[in-house]
Amino acid sequence: MKIVILDGYTENPGDLTWDGFEQLGQLKVYDRTPKDQVAERIGDGEAIIVNKTALTEEVFAACPSIRYVGVLATGYNVVDIEAAKKRGIPVCNIPAYGTGAVAQMTMALLLEICHHVGEHSNAVKEGEWSDCQDWCFWKHPLMELSGKTMGIIGFGRIGQAVGQLAKAFGMEVLAYDPYERENGKAIAAYVTRDQLLARADVISLHCPLFPDTKGIIGRETIGKMKDGVIILNTSRGPLVDEEALAEALNSGKVYAAGLDVVSEEPIRKDNPLLSCSNCLITPHIAWAPLESRKRLMEIAAANLEAFIKGKPQNVVNP
């Protein structure tokens, strides 16, 4: 089996090993692959592993040797899964390697909005406390979560984990998800999307990027939210219409946003959110603690091994 990993660097910048794949065939690992070299590097590769490199109809057409695609992520929107399916190629993802890590990061963004820990610590080190005429000071309004309402759009694995953390902070939890589940009901009250938009103080996105979820946060939905709402997105950037969010952040309609993902990554220098002072943006790191990446690596190799043994697992285009 000829295995080609097209963009392995972010999964394994040197603190993990590709041994699990090496044991399964002849392995070639690229740190990253420019768009115009994808087909050439795949060559006669059979198992293609990607993280964020796009595998399009054109790539599948140009590379007839592909028999398997493994995505080093949960979200698999970088692969044209229909193009793969019509050729009988299974696309396998990693459904749950970093649920706790992404939920934790979501709360880290929210807590930073509430307390601005980093900024206050920097101010202290720069002498602002030593020079202060009072015994304490704060540079932003501070906010308590207890008693506030968390609205979660997409109440699957990560959404539910965030719901549990929000409950632990004393928040009331509302969820919107087209598929209501019994275990979800133990954590949150399921409501309609409009009810959630109208009642939540904090709205957190945890649905996948699908054609019907693209731009789910836009002018119309923001208009239905409470004044001073907080928006969190650790799912996928295109869920948010960034022009509309920037406008709402600048007008104060939205109090603050915490984003780990944006519409185009790496972020474009002209992204309108970069100039919003009340918008925290991290470079898509929610998934990346070592513990999560290790789990991801093990499942990715197990996915390929299952395919080789004729029993593919975690197939997203059955």
Catalytic residues: 236, 265, 284
For position 233 contacting ligand NAD by CB under 6 A, the verdict is no
If one asks whether residue 100 binds ligand NAD (CB under 6 A), the answer comes out as no
| Residue (4 or 288) nearer to ligand NAD, CB | 288
Residues 208, 65: Cα–Cα separation, whole Å:
30
User: In which residue are the tokens 């070299």 written?
Assistant: 37
Q: Using the rule CB under 6 A, which residue among 5, 158, 217, 297 binds ligand NAD? A: 158
Chosen residue from 90, 151, 154, 238 binding ligand NAD by CB under 6 A: 154
Cα torsion 267, 271, 274, 275 to 10°: value is 170
- Shortest Cβ 198–ligand NAD spacing (Å): 16
Q: How many residues bind ligand NAD (CB under 6 A)?
A: 32
d(CA 160, CA 158): 5
Least Å distance between CB 111 and ligand NAD?
17
Closest residue to ligand NAD, Cβ-based? 156
Residue 156 in the binding site for ligand NAD (CB under 6 A): yes
Q: Report the alpha-carbon angle 9-238-159, nearest 5.
A: 85
Q: Estimate to the nearest angstrom the gap between the alpha carbon of 221 and the chain centroid.
A: 21
**Of residues 64 and 178, the one with the C-beta less far from ligand NAD:** 178
Question: Residue 229: beta bridge partners?
Answer: 254
Residues in contact with ligand NAD, shown as a per-residue x/- string from 165 to 194 under the rule CB under 6 A: -----------xxxx---------------
Residue 304 touches ligand NAD, criterion: CB under 6 A: no
SS3 182: helix
Q: Look up residue 167 and give its two tokens.
A: 């409950």
The reply on whether position 75 binds ligand NAD by CB under 6 A is yes
- Cβ proximity of 239 and 207 under 8 Å: yes
Structure tokens at 16: 């993990």
SS3 content of the chain, % helix, strand, coil (to 5): 35, 15, 50
φ/ψ region of 143 (left if φ > 0, alpha if ψ in -120 to 50, else beta) reads beta
- Pick one of 12, 93, 149, 234: the residue that binds ligand NAD (CB under 6 A): 234
Task: At 231, give phi and psi (nearest 5°).
Answer: -120, 130
CB 87 to ligand NAD: min, Å: 24
Residues that bind ligand NAD (CB under 6 A): 74-75, 96, 98-99, 102, 153-159, 176-179, 206-210, 212-213, 234-236, 260-261, 284, 286-287
